[in-house]
Chain A
Amino acid sequence: MADFADLALMFGYAFFQRAFIAGICAAILCSVLGVFIVLRRASLIGEGIAHLSFGGIALGLVISIYPFYTALVLALFGTLAISFLHRKRIVYSETAIGIIFSFGLALGVVLASISGGFNVDLFSYLFGSILTVSEEDIYFIIILTLFVLGFVILFYKEMLHITFDEQGARLSGVPVDIFEIVFNLLIALCVVVSIKIIGSLLVSSLLITPAASAMQFSKSFKGTISLSLLFGIFSVFAGLVFSFIYDIATGGAIVLLSIILFTISAITTKIYKSFSNQIKNKIIT
């Protein structure tokens, strides 16, 4: 087992450099989009799309197409299907997510059994791995990250308006229906970007937890996004290091760290609030 002295050496490995770049991209996207997802009470959609992309990966492995592409196509179609089922009032959005969620998982399991059971490749897509990020993945991940981030920066205030007050945004002339579809597509891209490092079963946690931790502290929306970024990047960085040093599943390490950060944030804020309330009461009396 390696120790922390190997930290510098770690970055000398090409595979770790690639994992690091992919991880930071995933952290940035998940942390930023996560704030909107949590506040729109859409946490389930990340879970649904992630499971669907698992089906896509299995499909890619079976038909020998690069799994990233099949995952992306299936995730995008799944997102549009969720929007369609909800918009046409065929079912509630959470029901649509549930159907898509189970379809993805079922497809993945059936295809895996057809191909002769789970292999190492599929396992790494399920739980994330620092070993499997290829150079091709990196280009793909960077392009998707820049695209999603560019969109969020450009339409930040419109997305904030829809998140805070959908009816008000509609009245201001924001095309809310189009934004909703695009927003879900961005989540699909974000999930696909994150799968290699975090794994499809755990990626929704990185979408939710850093944002939830940041919301414990911040008073402003911009502050919440900045803190969420900080928590997300820290969790991914520390998770990658632990994964390398202790040879544990990368996705699991990252998610556990981000949940520890959330627990510390929630407890600290509660203690701080009750302490400041006590001081206020003492001053009043």
Chain B
Amino acid sequence: MVENMVENKIDNIKDKIIEVEGLTVKYDGNTVLDDISFEVRRKDVIGIVGPNGGGKTTLLNSILGNIPVYSGKIRLFGLDLQKFRDFHKIGYVPQNAIHFDPIFPATVEEIVSLGCITRKKLGRPLSSEDKKGVSHALELVDLYDLRKKKISELSGGQKQRVFIAKAIVRKPELLVLDEATVGLDICIQDQFVKLLKLLKKEMEITVMMVSHDLSGVFCQANRLFVVNKKLYVSELNENTDAEKVLREAYGRHFTFMFHHDHAKCIGE
């Protein structure tokens, strides 16, 4: 009985990928995030939406330790952010990743290989396991045949897949996507949704995705985070009142037109 309780507790701790308590972030005295608390559990797919300047990217950057926080606690994989060093467990596709220097001379394979670098492997050449990981990631995103091509010669959708391959090459447990589909046409967004489904199936990955594509978020995510200085969390299922959630967060009325067939078309 006691053993079972202990095991359950350990499972419960292992299950928590991110724990945030009372997070407040300020830029030049202005509060960008105000007393935010939430948890992300293993295999969650979190869709993060909100108005421009609402603090979506700031939230991701605080979790990833890229910016200092004013107050609050952040724990990653059960460890305080200050003590957390296993960043190989996190794959990250930054905002505007595909808008890199257009004349940068590097092949697809060279860029994806950069995903193998970790703090523990600094100064070491790529191992055969790393090389296998690169090939596998390229196969997953369907770019293996284009691995020797110059990255700037790829289309927008292909470039985006390069960055996803780079993010997943170390087989991360958490994939963080910051507006990964912004500026891409609807066909590429469709491919992206399919790729995300494949990754979830193949790698049982936890995903946090910032997006302005509400229909994409509603199709993919099981939880919705609306960030507008404060955080509004909602479970996503057929009973979710999307209009109500968005009204609370954005402070204005929305008529949410959501086509059932669209979800089916891009979700399956």
List the interface of chain A (C-beta within 8 A of B): 39, 154-155, 157-158, 160-161, 164-165, 167-174, 214-215, 218-224
Instruction: Provide a sorted-by-A list of 22 A–B residue pairs whose CB atoms are within 8 angstroms.
Output: A39-B101, A39-B104, A39-B105, A157-B125, A157-B126, A158-B117, A158-B123, A160-B110, A164-B104, A165-B94, A165-B97, A171-B92, A172-B114, A172-B117, A173-B85, A173-B122, A174-B117, A215-B105, A218-B105, A219-B150, A220-B110, A221-B105
Pair A173/B119 contact, Cβ less than 8 Å: yes
Residues of B in contact with A, size category: 35 or more
Residue of B nearest to A39 (CB): B104
Residues of A within 8 A of B110 (CB): 160, 220-222
Residues of A within 8 A of B148 (CB): 219-220
Pair B105/A172 contact, Cβ less than 8 Å: no
Pair A221/B106 contact, Cβ less than 8 Å: yes
* A222 CA / B115 CA spacing, docked (Å): 17
The secondary structure that dominates the A interface is helix
Known: A160-B110, A164-B111. A172 touches B104 (CB 8 A): no
Pair B66/A165 contact, Cβ less than 8 Å: no
Residues of A within 8 A of B88 (CB): 172-173
Residues of B within 8 A of A154 (CB): 123
Contact of B66 among A161, A170, A222, A223 (CB under 8 A): A170
* A220 CA / B97 CA spacing, docked (Å): 19
**Extra pairs beyond A157-B126, A165-B100 (7, CB < 8 Å):** A157-B117, A164-B111, A164-B114, A168-B114, A171-B64, A171-B66, A219-B107
Pair B92/A160 contact, Cβ less than 8 Å: no
Q: Which of A158, A218, A219 has the most CB of B within 10 A?
A: A219
Residue of B nearest to A155 (CB): B123
Contact of B149 among A214, A219, A221 (CB under 8 A): A219
Pair B92/A174 contact, Cβ less than 8 Å: no
Pair A155/B87 contact, Cβ less than 8 Å: no
Least CB distance, A208 to chain B, in whole angstroms: 14
* A132 CA / B64 CA spacing, docked (Å): 54
Residue of A nearest to B116 (CB): A157
Residue of A nearest to B85 (CB): A173
Least CB distance, B95 to chain A, in whole angstroms: 10
Pair A172/B119 contact, Cβ less than 8 Å: yes
Answer whether residue B155 sits at the interface, using C-beta atoms and an 8 A cutoff.
no
Residue of A nearest to B122 (CB): A158
* A169 CA / B125 CA spacing, docked (Å): 16
* A169 CA / B119 CA spacing, docked (Å): 10
Pair B149/A160 contact, Cβ less than 8 Å: no
Answer whether residue B220 sits at the interface, using C-beta atoms and an 8 A cutoff.
no
Answer whether residue B181 sits at the interface, using C-beta atoms and an 8 A cutoff.
no
* A171 CA / B60 CA spacing, docked (Å): 12
Residues of B within 8 A of A39 (CB): 101, 104-105
Residue of B nearest to A151 (CB): B123
Pair B114/A171 contact, Cβ less than 8 Å: no
Pair B118/A224 contact, Cβ less than 8 Å: no
Residues of B within 8 A of A173 (CB): 85, 87-88, 117-120, 122
Residue of B nearest to A221 (CB): B106
Residues of A within 8 A of B117 (CB): 157-158, 161, 169, 172-174
Answer whether residue B90 sits at the interface, using C-beta atoms and an 8 A cutoff.
yes
Known: A161-B114, A165-B114, A171-B87. A155 touches B105 (CB 8 A): no
* A244 CA / B119 CA spacing, docked (Å): 49
Contact of B92 among A158, A164, A168, A222 (CB under 8 A): A168
* A224 CA / B103 CA spacing, docked (Å): 12
Pair B118/A220 contact, Cβ less than 8 Å: no
Q: Report B96-138 CB contacts with A as 1/0, cut-off 8 Å.
A: 0100110111110011011111111011011000000000000
Residues of B within 8 A of A174 (CB): 117, 119, 122
Residues of A within 8 A of B104 (CB): 39, 164
Residues of B within 8 A of A219 (CB): 105, 107, 148-150, 153
Q: Which of B64, B94, B103, B123 has the most CB of A within 10 A?
A: B123
* A154 CA / B123 CA spacing, docked (Å): 5
Least CB distance, B102 to chain A, in whole angstroms: 12
Pair A223/B87 contact, Cβ less than 8 Å: no
Residues of A within 8 A of B125 (CB): 157
Least CB distance, B43 to chain A, in whole angstroms: 22
Least CB distance, B235 to chain A, in whole angstroms: 29
Q: Report B145-180 CB contacts with A as 1/0, cut-off 8 Å.
A: 000111001000000000000100000000000000
Residue of B nearest to A224 (CB): B105
* A165 CA / B120 CA spacing, docked (Å): 19
Pair A164/B87 contact, Cβ less than 8 Å: no
* A167 CA / B114 CA spacing, docked (Å): 12
Residues of B within 8 A of A222 (CB): 110
* A167 CA / B110 CA spacing, docked (Å): 17
* A158 CA / B104 CA spacing, docked (Å): 16
Residues of A within 8 A of B106 (CB): 160, 164, 220-221
